[in-house]
Structure 1
Amino acid sequence: MDFFCSTVGRRLAHFLSARVEVRTIAPATSSSLLLSCLIPGDVILVEGNTRISGAIRYLTQSTWSHAALFVGDHVAGRPRAFVEADLVEGVRIAGADQFEGLNTRICRPVGLTDGDRTRLCQFAISRVGQQYDLRNIIDLARYLLPTPPVPQRFRRKLLALGSGSPTRAICSTLIALAFQEIGYPILPGVHREKAGVPGCDACFDEILSVRHHSLFVPRDFDVSPYFAIVKPTIEVGFDYLTLMWEVADARSSAQEVEAMVVAPRCADPHTVDHERPVLHARTSCCEPEDPERPAGRRLI
């Protein structure tokens, strides 16, 4: 039975990890530009292009379906490396080329000490080679539908349901564990307690509680108030004055305007500013009236 479940589970994992075409309006960041802005400890979120990515984006109501931790040069022989959890291969070292052509976002923890940054990276690296048990077929099967028919309020809970080994590989369990190891918050629970300050009834302390690491998803790093969002285009020195814009064809622009619904008053020819370029459009007010045509706006 174990052999059967393992075989079916592995085939399911390969099927879900297969790449598919994904349409997105967000431009991809080149790997060279991405690497120029990263420092060890950064979390990179990815809009994945595999079958399972669609289900994760739907269930988490987010653009992001995958997360990886940048560990820099902490891996011998692998400069500028990432640590990520893969459904089939387990925890592995990856290069920036893994995310080439994909929409990404950099989430940066703020104020990390050098010691904690090293501990964070070493913790993730120590998990490299860890495999995930793919015998949990039920845990894998939930991702076969790109848009599972689940009410919105239960979608995130579906990821936590069972918390099987494959789901821990798919979600951000590894990275969440690494940050919890150094005591850095992602999205902790917050409750307030009276501070006990004499004469101050309105004084409260905010107490943070640690969420279980299996409940984290990639979008949590994006919405976390403790991570800064780094935009590579801006970091390298963005100047809108240096941009080169494509000039639209005047004829096609005029045709687009001509197709609009237009019915202004006819301009007085004596008050027209002939120095200012005017984009003309056909209007009903400047044509002979048709008694059978209703007054007002008309479609051309």
Structure 2
Amino acid sequence: MTAPVDTLLDRIGRWLAGRLQDESSGYEPYTPSDPETLRRVLQPGDVLLVEGNQKISAAIKYLTQSTWSHAALYVGDAMPEPEDGSERPRLIEVTLGEGCVAVPLSRYSTYNTRICRASGLGPEDRAAVVSFMIGKIGLRYDLKNILDMLRYFFPTPPVPVRWRRRMIAFGSGDPTRAICSTLIAEAYERIRYPILPEVTHAPGRASAKSRYSRGEILHIRHHSLFTPRDFDLSPYFLIVKPTLEYGFDYRRLHWSEDEIAVAAAKAAETAEPPEPAP
């Protein structure tokens, strides 16, 4: 089989992809979850949102007006153990440089993350979502689509709010649309599970109130237009917090004396002075 020719566009594309994946300095996660805690809480089919710190992450967070710039799907033990004894891959994701790959949970041990879980998902549908994602492993991002990558070099592009989602979805073919959340949205689309609410006024059903929200929801009918934020906002996905899953009790926390002293000092500073005695 003849090896593919390495064209000038290929080389430029790889260079652009590498630059966009450079990490920004000064990133400090607030409450990163360790891989073992995540593994105990996550269920196959869960969506793990990530607050990335790459240069492309800044543009995605701005365009989506969200903390979350990346999404991966948890597949549990569906992937085989690596023969070299390394950590088993339990997430499937799509990245600019690698395409669709399976990675271990430890990849995001130093990032802020959020677990989004489809409510009431049956075992068959859960397995179908996982199977769909595993079947996409090896899908590559077409690095010849130079314009697709160039738009991310502007962290805060001066575009109106109503056009920002379209800018995320801009692409010239299927490979360009297979980016993180869009592939996960396609997996859920296959089992007809909703992500964003319908525009409806039926009693007891979710509905959008603002004109902008209604316009966005009406526009989003194809999986290529979904972003990581949509799983967070969806009324059909639960937000699962690992620290609350195992009987969290605030009364069992142990505070250091220094923390107690600092809290007391701050309380004294903000307290109103007592009224003078008559």
* TM bracket, shorter-chain basis: 0.7 to 0.9
Deviations 1:168-211, CA, capped at 9 Å, x for gaps = 24441110111111111112543579xxxxxxxx9x9x9x9871
Which structure ranks higher in relative contact order (CA pairs < 8 Å, sequence separation ≥ 6)?
2
Q: CA deviation at 1:212?
A: 0.6
Higher-strand-fraction structure: 1
Task: Report which stretch shifted further, 244-253 or 78-87.
Answer: 244-253
CA distance in 1, matches of 2:226, 2:196: 9
Cα distance in 1 for partners of 2:182, 2:261 equals: 54
Partners in 2 of 1:176 and 1:22 — Cα distance? Answer: 31
Which residue does the alignment assign to 2:182? 173
Specify which of 220, 223, 228 is matched with residue 213 of structure 1: 223
CA contact (8 A) 1:31 1:97 kept: yes
Offset from partner CA, 1:254-298 (integer Å, 9 cap, x none): 69967x898765457xxxxxxxxxxxxxxxxxxxxxxxxxxxxxx
**Counterpart in the other structure of 2:55:** 51
Match of 1:149 in 2: 158
Q: What is the aligned partner in structure 2 of residue 39 from structure 1?
A: 43
1:127 and 2:136 aligned: yes
1:28 is paired with a residue of what secondary structure?
coil
Write the letter of the residue equivalent to 2:195.
I
Q: How does 1:48-197 map to 2 (within 5 A)?
A: 48-77=52-81, 79=88, 81-162=90-171, 167-187=176-196, 189-191=198-200
- The 1:129–1:262 alpha-carbon spacing in structure 2 relative to 1, beyond 3 Å, is closer
Unmatched segments (≥5 aa) in structure 2? 1-5, 83-87, 208-216
The CA deviation string for residues 104-126 of structure 1, in whole angstroms up to 9 with x for no partner, is: 01111122221111111111001
Contact kept? 1:140, 1:166, Cα under 8 Å:
no
Q: How many residues align?
A: 256
SS in 2 for 1:72: coil
Distance 2:262 2:61 in 1: 42
Moved more, 236-245 or 24-33: 24-33
Q: Cα offset for 1:157?
A: 2.2
Structure of higher CA gyration radius = 1
Aligned to 1:285: none
Q: Partner of 2:140: helix, strand, or coil?
A: coil
Distance 1:25 1:89 in 2: 24
Shift of 1:167: 5.0
SS at match of 2:153: coil
Distance in 1 of aligned mates of 2:235 and 2:245: 20
CA 1:163–1:30: 2 relative to 1, 3 Å: farther
SS at match of 2:61: helix
Shift of 1:164: 5.4
1:147-296 equivalences in 2 (<5 Å): 147-162=156-171, 167-187=176-196, 189-191=198-200, 211-248=221-258, 266-267=276-277
CA, structure 1 residues 247+179, in 2 after alignment: closer, same or farther (shift >3 Å)? same
Query: What is the RMSD computed on CA atoms of the aligned residues?
Result: 3.3
Identity across aligned pairs (percent)? Answer: 49
TM, length-normalised to structure 1:
0.75
The one-letter code sitting in structure 1 at the alignment partner of 2:252 is T
Q: Given the alignment, which residue of 8, 11, 18 partners 1:7?
A: 11
Is the contact made by 1:108 and 1:230 (CA closer than 8 Å) also made in structure 2? yes
In structure 1, give the amino acid aligned to 2:222.
H
Give unpaired runs (5+ residues) of structure 1: 194-201, 269-300
